[in-house]
Structure 1
């Protein structure tokens, strides 16, 4: 890549995740404090992410990959998103807010794949060139959190401004997109079917018992994950933490550091231990939240946030590597799309539907009984961990996976002759 291309792609990644982090982290607090939303309504708002994740493959597979240049679609989606975010900041109640944010997330979630597509198409060696570009996305999320914390918008009730800075950033992103390197759709086979476009062939991986167990565990573990994404900021603000959004950015710092350590641990621990450690970290995180406070146990709150690096990297990144190993060259992209759909789509959707009523059930005159609330996702994560540890076998998960499952992957379950 030329230096100009690298700078443009890095700026693209920074803005992409700055936009998301600028309003998403504090959404629960905004809805509760500014719009008087209930826990169920907050969960519905976060559920829009899952709806967007489910619809995204259709937008990418049926439109972006076949008819229009990726950077142009990226620009159009972000310009439209800027308008929707600005109107979201002016909402007077939840009923007026929800339709706009639903449409926004349906438009935004496909952009996560589009920025990757634009990046990869400009790189000769994505394995070495992509990480330095992608890390700017994590930095963008961190900067968004630190900015909100520094400006003290949570304590002063000005979280509507988070949508406005996100709208401005989205407008800039939309304009920048039209200057990005041309990324036209690849010429596909005229006989390509809807199954090919949506990557449904990857479903055959579920015929592997070990992968099926991993797949089900991925869906199940995202149920407690929804508690973290949807209500941590509200919890920290009710607990009295200053600059909660800024402090939460420590989770992304942790994520970046542990990402660098993944190769070291992966070789020495293997798939099963890595996944199990990730799930165990989720249990510990919720226990720390349950008993933490802004007084003597402040370290527990910080510890729970910092554990995000292990929670995310050891489970999700390891799972992506495991999926990549098992899928083989033919189904790599489809398999990654399938596991993303299962986690951020189905898993988070179920989690949002479950977490909201629980939050409402433990509402008090002073806020919420957070100790009981956090022990519930801790229990769910512990049950998933226990079942996974007992049932999952990784004897073919790393070096032996491709060879052991080669016959499975090469046989079409619908047409065995393929």
Structure 2
């Protein structure tokens, strides 16, 4: 079996695990367990909390003591074991800690999967820039297949979704031990201080006003991503309570409808080079923010009947909203930081979006929805919820236009961006 095929399997399973429950956990929480919306917001903050410290910590372990592919496998086996215990939890407070433990094991595998793949490709003399993107796209496909699997099996509201994810985690955990060795590179870190190893040196770039502004907006948009992940599937499920929409395709297979968002991601990736060269990073990031406004606004007025086109269009727009900020934002960091701290600066970018941004978006949205948009019977005013989220994204976009200062330099785009990158 070729190394490319072996890494394709790795990428597919890596995101299949996440896709099996990430989008549908809301339906399980609200419609099966009937737990509080405020507490649910905290559930989605777990991936942010884990992202703040675990990737760096596990990176040190892989750099100094343990083969990356073995550490990667162990983390997936532990994560699979935790996923198996989730259906046994009957208290929402305990549920938070169990999900957090699962995220502690899962989130560092995102970075380790890249490290293992890069190492394996280089060991075979292959070009990482050319050969990795076609491999990574199978991760998005794995996420989509997982969503379709859960939806077609009608287990979106069932604890069985966690067993599906656990099964994939166990398979990947065992499979990882068969991958090419990725030994510790202690020689690269032995002369570094703890501050440098942890990537804390990159915080020095925040002294630059432009970079500080950029990272603050990264944090705010990181919160927007969690809003759509946490509540999109639940929103579609709630239409089942309306007799006019019972039995519609959207209500029967909401995860499949939501998977259009991930399909859109793979398409918008291909458009990024054109937009970056034509408009520049600031404009592309602004397009992303306006796309978030449309994403939420279309949800506010959409329905499974005559408004189905709005829901589908919202899912299509999601590809621009997600990709245009995450990929162009990563490129901005690449072009604006010194080579010696680029890796840690990218880590800081991920910390702001998937770490602090995720915690902010999940926690605050849960409280706001519970206190302002949920009645005594537990019914949610989805129209008001999505309009509030749209207003949030619009305010960010307006502030971004006036506060963030950056001049587009086409020649810099040409020299640093020649291949489309792939986001998670």
Give the TM-score normalised by structure 1. Answer: 0.91
**Closer, same or farther: CA 296–366 of 1 in aligned 2, 3 Å:** farther
Task: Provide the rounded CA distance (Å) in 2 between the counterparts of 1:303 and 1:286.
Answer: 11
Runs of 4+ more than 4 Å apart = 396-403
Task: Name 2:53's counterpart in structure 1.
Answer: 55
Task: Name 1:345's counterpart in structure 2.
Answer: 355
Task: Provide the rounded CA distance (Å) in 2 between the counterparts of 1:401 and 1:192.
Answer: 32
SS in 2 for 1:363: coil
Task: Name 1:277's counterpart in structure 2.
Answer: 287
Preserved contact between residue 271 and residue 398 of structure 1 (Cα < 8 Å): no
Question: Is 389-398 or 313-322 further displaced after alignment?
Answer: 389-398
Task: Name 2:243's counterpart in structure 1.
Answer: none
**Aligned match for 2:106, one of 92, 98, 108:** 108
**Aligned match for 1:363, one of 362, 366, 374:** 374
Query: 1:117-156: CA deviations, max 9, x gaps?
Result: 00111223211111011011000000011111211223xx
Task: Name 2:222's counterpart in structure 1.
Answer: 222
- Aligned pair 1:86/2:84, yes or no? yes
Task: Name 1:8's counterpart in structure 2.
Answer: 6
Query: 1:334-378: CA deviations, max 9, x gaps?
Result: 111000001110111011111001221211337210111111111
**Closer, same or farther: CA 260–402 of 1 in aligned 2, 3 Å:** closer
Count of residue correspondences: 398
Task: Name 2:198's counterpart in structure 1.
Answer: 198
Task: Provide the rounded CA distance (Å) in 2 between the counterparts of 1:100 and 1:193.
Answer: 34
The within-5 A match list for 1:164-203 is: 164-186=163-185, 187-203=187-203
Preserved contact between residue 122 and residue 181 of structure 1 (Cα < 8 Å): yes
SS in 2 for 1:65: helix
Task: Name 2:397's counterpart in structure 1.
Answer: 385
Task: Provide the rounded CA distance (Å) in 2 between the counterparts of 1:259 and 1:58.
Answer: 27
Task: Name 1:33's counterpart in structure 2.
Answer: 31
Q: CA deviation at 1:8?
A: 1.3
Task: Name 2:315's counterpart in structure 1.
Answer: 305
Task: Name 1:406's counterpart in structure 2.
Answer: none
Query: 1:305-361: CA deviations, max 9, x gaps?
Result: 111100011111110111111124222211110000011101110111110012212
Question: Is 131-140 or 203-212 further displaced after alignment?
Answer: 203-212
Task: Name 1:142's counterpart in structure 2.
Answer: 144
SS in 2 for 1:307: helix
Question: Please, what is the CA RMSD of the aligned residues?
Answer: 1.8
Q: CA deviation at 1:259?
A: 0.5
Preserved contact between residue 223 and residue 354 of structure 1 (Cα < 8 Å): no
Task: Provide the rounded CA distance (Å) in 1 between the counterparts of 2:163 and 2:355.
Answer: 27
Query: 1:377-403: CA deviations, max 9, x gaps?
Result: 111111110011112222166646999
Preserved contact between residue 328 and residue 402 of structure 1 (Cα < 8 Å): no
Task: Name 2:231's counterpart in structure 1.
Answer: 231
Q: CA deviation at 1:59?
A: 2.1
Task: Name 2:68's counterpart in structure 1.
Answer: 70
Task: Provide the rounded CA distance (Å) in 2 between the counterparts of 1:366 and 1:340.
Answer: 35
Task: Provide the rounded CA distance (Å) in 2 between the counterparts of 1:189 and 1:138.
Answer: 32
Q: CA deviation at 1:46?
A: 0.9
Preserved contact between residue 10 and residue 136 of structure 1 (Cα < 8 Å): yes
Q: CA deviation at 1:45?
A: 1.1
Gaps in structure 2 of 5+ consecutive residues: 241-250, 416-424
Task: Name 1:408's counterpart in structure 2.
Answer: none
- Aligned pair 1:295/2:305, yes or no? yes
Gaps in structure 1 of 5+ consecutive residues: 404-418
Task: Provide the rounded CA distance (Å) in 2 between the counterparts of 1:392 and 1:355.
Answer: 25
- Aligned pair 1:331/2:341, yes or no? yes
